[in-house]
Amino acid sequence: RKDPAIAGRAAVALDQTRLTLEKAERLWATKRDVNEVEHLVYLTEKRAAIAHAIARRRTAADEIQQLYGERE
């Protein structure tokens, strides 16, 4: 959430990441189910990586569009 490029370009993926982390935190607070919490943490890490990738892809696409605009 601290990186504005990710927050602005991959908001949905970032929200999914946050929701998964919150679910893991709630599960740990109520059931202490180590296996399930570890699984949710794994999913959180993967979703965070996806959010970063989406933001990088959108940034690159914007840069390409800008370069094409400069050529014309």
C-alpha 57/C-alpha 52 separation (Å) is: 9
Q: Give residues with Cβ within 8 angstroms of 20, minimum separation 6.
A: 40, 43, 44, 47
**Taking the model in full, what pTM does it have?**
0.85
Give Cα separations from 53 to 3, 4, 25, 43 (angstroms).
13, 14, 25, 15
**pLDDT tens digits, 58-71:** 999 999 999 988 87
Q: pLDDT: is 68 or 41 the higher one? A: 41
**pLDDT tens digits, 23-33:** 999 999 999 99
